[in-house]
């Protein structure tokens, strides 16, 4: 069973409470997702660590039930 967008989003936010997550269904099949994760707590972290934080939140689902997730991480732009 593929994972639903809101399920993926909830897991990310559970692991990174200040994250804002935008999900995009890449293939229109509910199985190939892009997630853009923006979090103030990413500030100052290298990309590798930002992405590791997201993968940690997703746990062992990543590469398993969640096999196709394109991931972009960012810090919020100052107003």
Partner 1 sequence: MSTDPDQTRIADLVGKNDVLLFMKGSPLFPQCGFSSRAVAILNHLGAEFDSVDVLQDQGIRQGIKQFSDWPTIPQLYVKGEFIGGSDIMMEMYESGELATLLEEQGLVKAD
Q: Which residues make up the interface to partner 1 (CB under 8 A)?
A: 47-48, 51-52, 55, 58, 60, 62-63, 68-72
What's the min distance (Å) between Cβ of 70 and partner 1? Answer: 6
**Burial category of 19 from C-beta neighbours within 10 Å (exposed 0-12, middle 13-18, buried 19 and up):** buried
Which CB, 20 or 55, lies closer to partner 1? Answer: 55
Which CB, 63 or 79, lies closer to partner 1? Answer: 63
What's the min distance (Å) between Cβ of 43 and partner 1? Answer: 16
Which CB, 13 or 71, lies closer to partner 1? Answer: 71
């Amino acid at each position: 069973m593929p994972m639903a967008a809101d399920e993926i989003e909830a897991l990310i936010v559970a692991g990174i409470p200040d994250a804002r997550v935008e999900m995009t269904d890449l293939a229109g099949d509910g199985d190939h997702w892009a997630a853009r994760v923006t979090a103030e707590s990413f500030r100052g972290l290298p990309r590798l660590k930002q992405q590791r934080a997201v993968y940690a939140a997703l746990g062992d689902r990543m590469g398993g039930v969640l096999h196709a997730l394109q991931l972009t991480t960012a810090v919020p732009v100052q107003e």
